[in-house]
Structure 1
């Protein structure tokens, strides 16, 4: 079984165990008869896919983004945005963001807040700014201004179309002045990405450029938080992460990767006594 199928079916079984009604698609105006046909992957109620309902301010952040997550995508049991919300929303709502930061092994002191679907424009000529799943902001005066977190669930293992980096990014030579190693990688994934199979390098490059524009090279850390799975495809994913990490390091950009499993096990070891229901939810669903 491929990692993609493994993750998807584990989440379907989780939903069935807990009596969640699933449909094969999600639209607010969908014909109920149509959503019963095909593979059932979407909860009819978004709250059924989340540990707790979205806080109003978090809902506004997703509405301000352009990913369409609240238009049905987050209802998918294998949604990466739902997974990110399930992990981070709890801590933000309770003012305990440092706990989440420690669990994913990023700096946890001097934290000012946490945002979902944060946008970082790369250049005034570019209409669309990349959306980052989660950003931890630090207080003014901190050398580190932000930890930006790109969250992945089953995307590295299939089910979507891979896009390359548009040549316009390479046309702007000033983007790459401090990033010669990343420029070399960018040339390999533009206009089509035939170099990387599992890791979405064009997306990570755009995030890096947007963060550079906002904070400078020393002002941010980029965390790639992903879900691990068995099989050769997952091994390839890990190898590509390691290769990309080496290029980021050579250019002096702070980059790290971590898995949801590592973070959940850390919480289970250190924080379950105070947050039993939440940690048990994460462990049952994602371990």
Structure 2
């Protein structure tokens, strides 16, 4: 059984145990059933207005967030509970300091290139204007990307312009060019997506940005490749900006030691759902 199949089966087992009655494709009847608690007002507004159409069902399927394997549902279950609460425990679990002031889901940072900017799953803000962007992955990284796929549209490489370098990211510029020329390949880490987020963040707040990559880890050969690609990405972007990474399992483990009994129902939920197959 593949790692992705194992992950999805674990989510199906959790849903059945919790009497959520998933359909065969792994969707629940509504996205509310896929969440620890109802969306906070800020989260509901962000996902309603966002370009990802996470809350809208289609003729072919329920809402994306109703999928047991939904990355947005994982991010919401991990972070939305902390909406309106002090974020010191979150900062401790993420291994960052100081604690941010607030966060928002589905954050967009336009680059001036036109079109719809990519959605960052989460953006933490600080009183001094610092921004920490968070990209979250659940099962997506387990599917390897095809070789020689188009990673960037041509607009990211206008003639005689170097978009990343212009906003203080020269290493990212070289890496983006290398990926575009197929000189550098990432099969499990979506490095191109991370570079687009870096460009948007640096355009919005030059010199005051960092990026966090948080992912659900799984046993299997894909995990070793994924880890190696994360390390390579971090080394290649160098000092362009602070880049953090951690598994959700590590995040929830750290959180367990940072919070008190008043948060026990939340912690029990994320542990039973997301940590029983921890690596």
TM-score by structure 1 length?
0.86
Q: Unaligned regions of 5+ residues in structure 2, if any? A: 57-62
Note the C-alpha offset of 1:117: 0.3
Note the C-alpha offset of 1:166: 1.6
In structure 1, the residue matched to 2:233 is: 244
In structure 2, the residue matched to 1:133 is: 121
Instruction: Tell me the alpha carbon deviations over residues 114-158 of structure 1, each in whole angstroms, 9 at most, x when there is no partner.
Output: 1000110011x322112110111111xx2x611110001111001
Q: Contact 2:171–2:240 (CA<8 Å) still a contact in 1?
A: no
Does residue 110 of structure 2 align to residue 121 of structure 1?
yes
Note the C-alpha offset of 1:272: 4.5
In structure 2, the residue matched to 1:70 is: 55
Does residue 96 of structure 2 align to residue 106 of structure 1?
yes
Q: Contact 2:172–2:195 (CA<8 Å) still a contact in 1?
A: yes
Note the C-alpha offset of 1:191: 6.8
Q: Contact 1:166–1:190 (CA<8 Å) still a contact in 2?
A: no
Distance in 2 separating the partners of 1:79 and 1:97: 24
Does residue 250 of structure 2 align to residue 259 of structure 1?
no
Pick closer, same or farther for the CA change 1:267–1:107 going to 2, 3 Å. same
Pick closer, same or farther for the CA change 1:196–1:20 going to 2, 3 Å. same
After TM superposition, the structure 1 = structure 2 runs for residues 133-212 of structure 1, keeping only pairs within 5 Å, are: 133-139=121-127, 142=128, 145-158=130-143, 164-171=151-158, 172-177=161-166, 178-190=168-180, 195-212=185-202
Q: Unaligned regions of 5+ residues in structure 1, if any? A: 24-38
Note the C-alpha offset of 1:159: 8.3
Note the C-alpha offset of 1:192: 6.7
Q: Contact 1:97–1:114 (CA<8 Å) still a contact in 2?
A: no
Q: Contact 2:145–2:187 (CA<8 Å) still a contact in 1?
A: no
In structure 2, the residue matched to 1:50 is: 35
Instruction: Tell me the alpha carbon deviations over residues 79-106 of structure 1, each in whole angstroms, 9 at most, x when there is no partner.
Output: 110000000000114x222322221112
Note the C-alpha offset of 1:280: 0.9
Instruction: Tell me the alpha carbon deviations over residues 197-218 of structure 1, each in whole angstroms, 9 at most, x when there is no partner.
Output: 00001110100000000110x2
Does residue 70 of structure 2 align to residue 82 of structure 1?
no
Figure out how many residues of one structure are paired with residues of the other and give that number: 264
CA RMSD of aligned residues (A): 2.0
Distance in 1 separating the partners of 2:264 and 2:82: 13
TM-score by structure 2 length?
0.88
Partner SS for 2:261: coil
Distance in 1 separating the partners of 2:256 and 2:241: 31
Distance in 2 separating the partners of 1:67 and 1:118: 11
Distance in 2 separating the partners of 1:238 and 1:130: 23
Q: Contact 2:132–2:211 (CA<8 Å) still a contact in 1?
A: yes
Structure 1 ranges of 4+ moved more than 3 A? 159-163, 191-194
Does residue 273 of structure 2 align to residue 285 of structure 1?
yes
Note the C-alpha offset of 1:65: 0.9
Instruction: Tell me the alpha carbon deviations over residues 178-206 of structure 1, each in whole angstroms, 9 at most, x when there is no partner.
Output: 33322222123227797110000111010
